[in-house]
Structure 1
């Protein structure tokens, strides 16, 4: 029996962030997936609250993607997600906050799909906000493969899951929520470093998930 269990809504960027971190560290874990927002009794039972992701390590439960990544770095070997250097750590935290802003942009469109309510004005606003993002990333990636250098860190994991929706081709996406977003938000092809960075980080998700 595996000690690590991830209670997850696979499509959620915050859940994807944790899944990528587990795979980056090469940790063996059991994935307990939920298709939607109902039937969260198992999550409540182990963590006392209904939101995913939740990571259990034996009898210990950790929820919130930020807390989970810090728990993984403090308790397991493998590539470091954070830095002991104060300046580098502050920069990683800045990127984490930027990732939360991206979550807000994605949420402007994803909420429409969940509620089955089309709001073209909100979609246009979300795309306009998204259009301001790639140049920031393109500049940050001008001299390195990842945001903090040559290795993936929590900075990359905090942004890429949100942006991955925007590089998918709608006709190749089967999940209705993902297709809805892909049809409405697209990252410009004029930013090759950013697109290559997204694809490189998401390659972690090609590794099989333990079950």
Structure 2
């Protein structure tokens, strides 16, 4: 059990990259927490009542409830400062916060668009990553896509071929930049791990799932990623670094507390 008489609870989607960012921070800090899997498509009233908004992840720590992965990261660093993730040095702090915000928009948002494009344009990839319960799984994998989730495969607002092409091109430049930095230093802001690293690594599951036993996902999905990004040797330095970070800090499923029997009915639209 964590501090005090309660355990931290994380309202989440298992395949959500923003949930993963928070799980990685919790694991790095050595904090015990209970995952509460949210059922997509129903019960958004519950989450709205609890947090005033409809997106996961939401962290509940005793009487404190925080939504948004960035706000959760700041809260955890204030409340549990033993393994700090936000540097005190002004330049490193600035670089860390810049990268964290950039990662949400680039890897987070553009990663979703590139994933939708890959699912739409590549039947082999689509077949290999989508299990039988496609609608819910796709909804949680991609996150909050407006309208009918399946029609969003190529036809959703802002997710047409041009948007996919632009997002994929931008991600290629971003992955090349990350690879160049990580070939020459151990972490993104120098010699010590920061929120920048944990955000980038956690969000990157939308580009390529980790291969180990970290996520409760079908075995066929482990190690899979967006063709042209996940399997491009130009970005080897980045994905090798990401996988090493997982081995060092992410707790495997076998060591995680049980999520409980009944999933909650909370939605992210």
User: Structure 1-normalised TM-score?
Assistant: 0.83
Q: 2:44 & 2:246 partners in 1: Cα distance?
A: 27
Determine if contact 1:52/1:64 at 8 Å carries over to the other structure: yes
| Aligned residue pairs, count | 207
2:238 counterpart of 1:194: yes
Q: For residues 35-114 of structure 1, what are the structure 2 equivalents within 5 Å? A: 35-100=39-104, 101-110=106-115, 114=139
Q: 2:116 & 2:40 partners in 1: Cα distance?
A: 13
2:206 counterpart of 1:165: yes
- What is the root-mean-square deviation in Å for CA atoms of aligned residues? 2.8
Task: Find the counterpart in structure 2 of residue 22 from structure 1.
Answer: 26
Q: 1:107 & 1:165 partners in 2: Cα distance?
A: 7
Tell me the SS of whatever aligns to 1:73: helix
Using the TM superposition, give the Cα deviation of residue 152 of structure 1 relative to its aligned residue in structure 2, in angstroms: 2.5
Q: Which has the higher contact order (CA 8 A, sep 6+)?
A: 2
Using the TM superposition, give the Cα deviation of residue 91 of structure 1 relative to its aligned residue in structure 2, in angstroms: 0.2
Determine if contact 2:10/2:60 at 8 Å carries over to the other structure: yes
Q: 2:45 & 2:219 partners in 1: Cα distance?
A: 24
- 5+ residue gaps, structure 2, are 118-137, 140-148, 155-159, 211-216, 259-269
- 5+ residue gaps, structure 1, are none
Q: Larger Rg: 1 or 2?
A: 2
Using the TM superposition, give the Cα deviation of residue 145 of structure 1 relative to its aligned residue in structure 2, in angstroms: 1.8
> Structure 1 residues 200, 37: closer, same or farther in 2, change over 3 A?
farther
Q: 1:153 & 1:37 partners in 2: Cα distance?
A: 34
User: Structure 2-normalised TM-score?
Assistant: 0.67
Task: Find the counterpart in structure 1 of residue 225 from structure 2.
Answer: 182
